[in-house]
Amino acid sequence: MSDDSPFENSRMRGAMDALMKSEEGREIAENLKSKLKQLNDQFKDLNHGEKQKFLNEFRDKFSESIGSLKDTLGEKYGETFEEEVPNAYTQQLLNYLPFMIGVTILLLIFGFFGYKLYKSIMEKETKREKKTRKQLKDEKKTQSPPSSPRSKKEQ
């Protein structure tokens, strides 16, 4: 378990956005926000064992509170509230979709040109090695000329 606070990156953002649409909802959201901040500050002061115990107790109480809040708001605002919360998450993902597609395309382009550059460098290196081998082979031929059949006849 890490020492990160469970209150920092709460998944309540969509619910909070839905709550902020009404005056009463804003008041509830602000109250919840201040309580979460207070809990976060207290959580940071606990040792590891106390954090583990607190998280186990908090998880149950928090899920009960959220369930009752959802029921209360569902009764007051009807089924639209329950539909808006998942839509808020979906909308957030859709907002980042063009960015993710753009990054993916850029990575593919860089990958393609990187591969082409690597391939080109390897081809040049192979050609250079072949040229060096050929030069060495030619030097060996010029240093020790093979005896020709004419030279044997002359002897």
Check: pTM over 0.75? Answer yes or no: no
The tens digit of pLDDT for each residue in 91-146 reads 777 888 889 999 999 999 999 999 999 999 999 999 999 999 999 998 888 886 55
Note whether 41 and 111 are within 8 A (CB): no
Rounded-to-integer distance, Cα 35 and Cα 29, Å? 10
> How many CB atoms are located within 10 Å of the residue 108 CB?
10
Rounded-to-integer distance, Cα 66 and Cα 52, Å? 21
**Which of the 8 DSSP states describes residue 146?**
P
- Whether the per-residue pLDDT at 67 is higher than 60: the answer is yes
